[in-house]
Structure 1
């Protein structure tokens, strides 16, 4: 079995979004090796001043978002009437499709906030479908214990670990993905078989890991080459997001909250929003 190696490491960078929310961001809107993913935002703070303004009502078109909270709550409201509040360890998925207007408010618990929002592209054939939303509280996330202090939490898709295929609660998405969180003490290992058609990446949010002799540290994203096997060792107590999915081989044009296939489609999205016709 061909084991995946690291082909590129990208350092996250500080940024802000919404009403001044401080984040660490990695994006790859025009990086084919990122597809179908577009961006990863990490929210991590022990100070409410870093995020108290949250993300007031704003539009999206052409993407999906997956929000995953390690610590803290995250409240979602949208034009469809959906209201969801995640607890520690929960996730929520939204497909903007042809248009959604929503707000997102992070809330600290036990003195800390730590979570992620992942942007996932939609293929052209699905960019104008109706918007959808669902959330998964922590008890709904699929967990597999690999040993003492060695845990995989699967949010989306299927993953084969130690010869067993497990299924995450999120299955119906615009493009096939497998998204998981690996939490492990120093010296632990994680091996998995991935769909060879999937592109895959690893985001280290805690500690440091080793993949086939290369080290990836906190705040870094590793883009992996193709293959079926994945083998990771934790060099320290570590936390890692695994993002894998079928690449979308289509043009990407990004403007603020809109991701389409051409500038004309972006201009139409902006016009629709300004005229109250986005949703």
Structure 2
């Protein structure tokens, strides 16, 4: 028998900056087992180019996967392995850093607007020293489910059931079972989503207010949900939200800047490898 998820905790995003002074709203959850395998969510939103013009110049990563989703605006990726990609509005890109990658990311407005997200996903210990990978996904390949009752659901990664419709996103390569989806709706529209009961499941609201089992979640908040295998979302206003659901990793997390490993010793080795130019040899 299906069990409905309820809201366990709400976490407000915090203003910060990263890269070359890019302004973002951030949810950092490196030490929160209830969000595993997700480590961080950054929301980039601006109608002022000075908020992001410097972008994210070349910088390293090891031990994580990143998923970048641009609803409005372009995003240019370049890395030392020769991968080059530019997202259009509604596209996404995925990178598994593995043993090491050096890349740059440059956002570009569309019609004076920029709005997108980057999600950090932890890699299992067994994958942290594998070769890096990169793929991008333009808007044409995104899976969409829409009608007058549910609004619009865009499935970005993994597999989910929405109102008894089984849907698969274009990204299926994340190391742990993961679902990423974008739900947009008008007031009173509602949708019921089914996810694996062993997942940690969260909702980030980026516009408006939605209700889960009687609890309101407002724009700029991340809601961590309790155990269960279904979640019913109801739009209280014009709403936009991201669903993040994934199989938790029961492994230690040690985070230092762009590196996420399982021990202090591994972090120290990573810093040494980067400083000695080892990343460039991969």
| TM-score using structure 1 length | 0.99
The 1:149–1:229 alpha-carbon spacing in structure 2 relative to 1, beyond 3 Å, is closer
Distance across 2 between alignment mates of 1:16 and 1:231: 34
Shift of 1:147: 2.1
1:235 pairs with 2:225:
no
1:14 aligns to 2:15 (yes or no): yes
2:35 corresponds to:
34
User: What is the CA-CA distance between 1:148 and the residue it aligns to?
Assistant: 6.2
1:224 and 2:237 aligned: no
Give yes or no for contact 2:150–2:190 (8 Å, CA) kept in 1: no
Query: TM-score under structure 2 normalisation?
Result: 0.98
Give yes or no for the alignment of 1:170 onto 2:171: yes
Partner of 2:250: 249
Paired residues for 1:130-145 under 5 Å: 130-145=131-146
Give the Cα separation in 1 of the matches to 2:148 and 2:62: 42
Task: Show the counterpart of 1:189.
Answer: 190
Alignment of 1:72-111 (within 5 A): 72-111=73-112
Shift of 1:140: 0.8
Q: Partners of 1:148 and 1:69 in 2: how far apart?
A: 25
> Could you tell me whether the CA contact under 8 Å between 1:66 and 1:92 is conserved in 2?
yes
Question: Where do 5+ consecutive residues of structure 1 fail to align?
Answer: none
Tell me the alpha carbon deviations over residues 88-126 of structure 1, each in whole angstroms, 9 at most, x when there is no partner. 000000000000000000000111000000000001011
- Distance in 1 between residues matched to 2:173 and 2:231, nearest whole Å: 24
Structure 1: distance between partners of 2:117 and 2:90: 11
Q: After superposition, give the CA deviation of every residue in 1:12-46 in whole Å (9 maximum; x if it has no partner).
A: 00000000000000011000001000000000000
Question: CA-to-partner distance for each residue in 1:236-263, whole Å, 9 max, x for gaps?
Answer: 0000000000000000000000000000
Unaligned runs of at least 5 residues, structure 2: none
Query: Is the contact made by 1:146 and 1:152 (CA closer than 8 Å) also made in structure 2?
Result: no
Matching of residue 156 in structure 1 with residue 164 in structure 2: no
CA distance in 2, matches of 1:149, 1:200: 20
CA contact under 8 A between 2:163 and 2:191: conserved in structure 1?
A: no
Name the SS for the 2:248 alignment partner: coil
CA contact (8 A) 2:149 2:190 kept: no
| 1:271 alignment counterpart | 272
Would you say how many aligned residue pairs link Structure 1 and Structure 2? 279
Residue by residue over 1:118-174, the C-alpha shift from the partner in whole angstroms, topping out at 9 and shown as x without a partner, is 000001011001000000000111101132670000010000012121110000111
CA contact (8 A) 1:209 1:234 kept: yes
The Cα of 1:175 is off from its aligned counterpart by: 1.0
Alignment partner of 2:273: what SS?
helix
CA distance in 2, matches of 1:202, 1:117: 14
